[in-house]
Homo-oligomer: A and B are copies of this chain.
Amino acid sequence: MEDGVFTVGIDLGGTKLLACLIDENWEVKEVMKKKTKPDQGPEAVVDRVVDVVKTLIEKSGQSRDRLKAIGIGVPGTVDSAAGTVIYAPNMPGWSQIAIGAMLHDRFAFPVTVDNDVNMGLLGEYHFGAARGYNYVVGVFVGTGIGGGLIMDGKLVHGANNLAGEFGHMVIQRKANSRECGCGNRGCLEAYAGRKSIVQKIASRARDGYTSMFKDIDFNTLTSNKLNNALIQKDRLVTKTIKTACQDIGVGIASLLNILDPEVVVLGGGIIEAMSDFMMPLIHQAVKNHTLSYDTRKTQIVLSQLGDYAIALGAASYAFSQSQTLSPSRHL
């Protein structure tokens, strides 16, 4: 394998860096994690990324000059053509940061930069739940709700790098509908992201609704704790998650009516932690709100890759983008 080329993919998270190295057969050869420490500023984070790439290459026993490209997924708005992070809300100081150029200065290899959600979807497309499809919608429910779109095998970035913001489709257009973090009202994310779910549970618990979560600190309410409450049949949590499934299903139905994809991949912390409970309920809600649902062949599937989806997608994107001058089976 010394003669082959390879890429490195990086998931630049607000808390941790996850990285992987894949060879030219797109086999995963090495993975690793490191803390991001975003409070130390963009320059320091780039140093840490450089360390990760070097360590990963060393550990894999590859020769550094066989590195073909580096791909990185960033939690924020990205101008992927320019390789610039426009804005990353959870990373202090990350506004208009030319991370592509900064990394290219250190390595002299091509660097692809994209949104973390897009890279996660691409991971599922190349390695996971969306393999074999060409027209894919991804919906990821975590703290917020993100999404991505692959059409004819290509990521859709949109005219302003803002395609796939599924969390901000409006599912409740009344003037008094729930306020969203984006400043608007009635967005899907304001109803069914983890932040909103926890807020609803907290407010109902304060109102005296019986629940095992009556006296806890709601900042510590993780997806896994919610799942435990579901398993123990906590009434408040069950009711709240059921409503979230209804809202997510309505949103996905709108996506089917608008886009008519071959497959919808569902992922993110909330869905992955409670998939047994949520997937059938979401499926039913999609059925109830999609035009001619029964005549469609569209699949609704659970993501498969877990933690390394973004790093894997970034590594594969680096490969396919570095091959755009020659025909490629991948993109």
Interface residues of A (CB under 8 A from B): 77, 135, 147, 149, 151-152, 156-166, 168-174, 182, 184-186, 246-247, 250-251, 253-262, 288-292, 295-298
Contacts and interface: CB of A to CB of B under 8 A. Distances in A.
A160 B158 CA distance: 23
B168 A171 contact: no
Contacts of A186: 250, 289
Copies of the chain in the assembly: 2
- The DSSP consensus for interface residues of chain A is loop
Most B CB within 10 A of own CB, among A172, A261, A297: A172
A146 to B, nearest CB: 11
Contacts of A157: 260
B261 A159 contact: yes
A166 B257 CA distance: 7
A288 to B, nearest CB: 7
A259 B137 CA distance: 11
Nearest to A162: B260
A165 B291 contact: yes
A95 to B, nearest CB: 13
Contact of A156 (B151, B160, B251, B291): B151
A296 B162 contact: yes
B262 A168 contact: no
A147 B251 CA distance: 18
Nearest to A87: B292
A160 B291 contact: no
A217 B217 CA distance: 61
A174 B243 CA distance: 11
A173 to B, nearest CB: 4
Interface centre among A186, A247, A258, A295 (most CB of B within 10 A): A258
